[in-house]
Structure 1
Amino acid sequence: MNWFNNVRNRIPFISKRSTEDTLWHKCRDCNQMVFTKEYEENLSVCPECGFHGRIGPSARFLQLFDDMSWEELPAPKVKEDPLKFRDQKKYVDRLKAARSATGESDAFVNARGQIKGQDAVIGVQDFAFMGGSMGLAVGETFVRGARAAIEAQCPYIVFTASGGARMQEGGLSLMQMPKMTVAVEELREAGLPYIVVLTDPTSGGVMASYAMLGDIQISEPKALLAFTGRRVIENTIREKLPDNFQSAEYLLEHGMLDMIVERSALRDTLAQLIAFLAPSKQAA
């Protein structure tokens, strides 16, 4: 038995968990298994069906900014757990777990850099952080991103990905909607573009506010975009909805989006929009 254990311990192997987590990615749309390396090299887009997977701020900044270089704007300090909320866990414990898992302080991150030589501030909502939920920190970070763009006289580009308002902050989370709307108006008064890229999924109070206020509304393909659940709407209006009712393609067809852009073409598209919408600002 000692000999057997000695030989077994010398045989290299990969655990089942490590294999699933590091070697393979299962597409959420077509359920195909794809090598993680191939998936990441394809910008986290499924090579089989073209479904655009969820990515965080660092990956997004890496794909968009010139020379893989950007300056991340400081995260604001806000009151944590203002309602002393607790369900199955304390809210503060959920925040700690999300921060440990993502490495971010909250669900929205801003960075400043250049896209093909043109200045821009980009804000990215991270669905991995408590479903990208909108709370005090998200609202304040958005406002600071808008004002950083005004200070730099450049566009503010926001990538949305959220399940909606953060229930642990109650009515305070809903108050972020008008607050962020005012920040968008400040951008417009400054004559600066506000560009929104909706990603999978964007829903709830986020979809009902700043996600739909862009001067240009873009979406990634096949993104789920919804204010509320399909079943809730069908029960309310007593009608059956189309199968693709809450897809980016349906919204584009019905005039709620300006364009759907694949991730591989997004950098070029944003550079063209900046040059068209804010040429005088860039020249200055």
Structure 2
Amino acid sequence: MSERDDDGARADAQLARSLALAAGALLLEIRARGTLSGKALGDAGDREANTLIIDRLRAERPDDFILSEESLDDGRRCAARRVWIIDPLDGTREYAAGLDDWAVHIGLSVDGVPHVGSVAVPARDAVHTTDDPVHVRGASRSPPRIVVSRSRAPDIARLVGETMHATMIPMGSAGAKAMAVVDGRAEIYLHDGGQYEWDNCAPAAVAMAAGLHASRIDGSPLVYNCADPLLPDLLICRPELAGPVLAAIAAARR
């Protein structure tokens, strides 16, 4: 990467971090108002955070395209090199319920690769960004811990957990689960059954910057800015566990 490219990546990462923090602060403020609850609170958070992020991206990166869970998709993005992939409120149910395991995702795909990302977990006062990664250290905990959906753990995660004698940790949003692996509260995040690019672009970018493994559950690379943004499965884990986890997945799917 040239010095100019490196400077550009830093600027993009700083923007991603700024957007994640600003949207997170807004979401906390909306919840603290106490005037909305339930679905109405979640809808307001989605809408207002999305507007804040979109407006700033259009002002600061006018030549880039945007793919957001909360906005109409512009198909012209498929021909673009740079596409911001955002989820202004990942974990709307947890947010509306007053829990802390929801997140803001700001990712940037360049030529289909998760190039830059920032994931804020505002209710935990945490933010992780690709230009300031927390690198994994030390040996993996044994048995490993797998973060899974609080409402429905994927069958594949349950089967891999049994094979590896893992402890299952229920948690809310995709971003919160991925960041639990980044910050060492878990070793594996394994999902199968329906995600979109905005659910995992920023988390994957942050995880890889931290030295973690991130891929599809068949081991193939994560590819972004596809015409169909469905990206249904994801593995984020400690690098030394990638081989055993992928082998356990393959065995479970036979």
Report the TM-score, using the length of structure 1 for normalisation: 0.27
Report the TM-score, using the length of structure 2 for normalisation: 0.29
User: Structure with the greater relative contact order (CA < 8 A, sep ≥ 6): 1 or 2?
Assistant: 2
Richer in strand (by share): 2
